[in-house]
Amino acid sequence: MDLKKIIAVTGKPGLYKLITTTRTGILVESLTDGRKMPVSANQNASSLYDISMFTYGDDKPLREILADMYKHYNGQKAPSHKESESVLRSEFEKFFPDYDKERVYLSDIKKVFQWYNTLVELGLADDQPEPVDATAEKSESSTTAEETQQ
């Protein structure tokens, strides 16, 4: 699942595909209706690749949660994000049992279900979480090595 170019824009419904960067921000295309729109640098836009959710231990990347959902639902759509809170929380707990129940709000859970269903509808979901960038992994390991030397 290539989530690096899939963007969520704060205040805008749905998911967007990153087309290009501009002088003043980025240009995105809606995954649902294909409309293109500029997103200014002042607006908050996040790649699904970079989003993670709270657990009682280390945060879990959204890309792993979506891959777990794909396995749990056998590549089929999940329940609608419009289901009741009790249904959504119990379903969410089936594939992500260690989420922090105090810091992960219902609105977060609804977004995960909505995004997953959108990705499945468009054929963009699979059960393979995208690997961490090799360059990011290398810089993290070199930082750790530097910290241990000090």
Kindly report the backbone phi and psi dihedral angles of residue 16, in degrees, each rounded to the nearest multiple of 5, phi listed first. -135, 150
Give me the domains of the chain, ranges plus CATH numbers: 6-48 (2.30.30), 51-121 (1.10.10.1650)
Instruction: Give the C-alpha separation, 67 to 127, whole Å.
Output: 4
Does residue 5 register a pLDDT over 80?
A: yes
In what helix (H) or strand (E) does residue 26 lie, and over which residues does it extend?
A: strand 25-30
What confidence category does residue 2 fall into, taking pLDDT thresholds of 50, 70 and 90? confident
User: pLDDT tens digits for 78-110?
Assistant: 999 999 999 999 999 999 999 999 999 999 999
The confidence score (pLDDT) of residue 128 equals 75
- Residue-wise pLDDT for 43-82, tens only, equals 999 999 999 999 999 999 999 999 999 999 999 999 999 9
Note if the pTM is more than 0.85.
Answer: no
Rounded to whole angstroms, how far apart are CA atoms 113 and 91? 10
**Position 142 pLDDT exceeds 80:** no
Instruction: Between 134 and 150, name the one with better pLDDT.
Output: 134
Q: Are 129 and 64 in contact (CB under 8 A)?
A: yes
State the pairing for strand pair 6-9/36-40.
Answer: unpaired
Q: For residue 133, what pLDDT is reported? A: 59
